[in-house]
Amino acid sequence: MELAAKAQAGEISKEDFVRGIDGIEFMAMKRTRDLLRGIKFAKTDTANSYNYKRLSETPDNFDDFLLYRKKVSPHRDARKEYEAKYDFLRKR
């Protein structure tokens, strides 16, 4: 919400907005990964789960995460999505 408000007010650049959203997503994925690691799942529960595998392999490094996200979602361009959100907020 804070980043969106700053974008709408013109207090943050598009690049900083995108990087900020990426950082929030990165931290959320790492927290989810760490939470999942603390739960004892049966191998049969995790073996065929796309989401479990994707989340459990989230890298610790932010730059590695950006590359990883492209690898696991090759048809999604998160950067373009966040840039479009920034443009939308600036027009409001």
Dist. CA 77–CA 43, nearest whole Å = 32
Total structural domains in the chain?
1
DSSP-assigned states of every residue in 34-73: HHHHTS---HHHHTT-HHHHHHHT--SSHHHHHHHHHHH-
Q: In this predicted structure, what is the pLDDT of residue 1?
A: 94
Residue range of the domain that includes 24: 2-91
What are the pLDDT digits (tens) for 11-30? 999 999 999 999 999 999 99
d(CA 41, CA 47): 10
Question: What backbone phi and psi angles, to 5 degrees, belong to 6?
Answer: -65, -40
Q: What's the rounded Cα separation, in Å, for the pair 92 and 75?
A: 28
pLDDT tens, 50-78?
A: 889 899 999 999 999 999 999 999 999 99
Q: Tens digit of pLDDT for each residue in 35-51?
A: 998 999 888 888 888 88
Q: What is the DSSP letter of 15?
A: H
% of the chain residues with pLDDT over 90 = 83
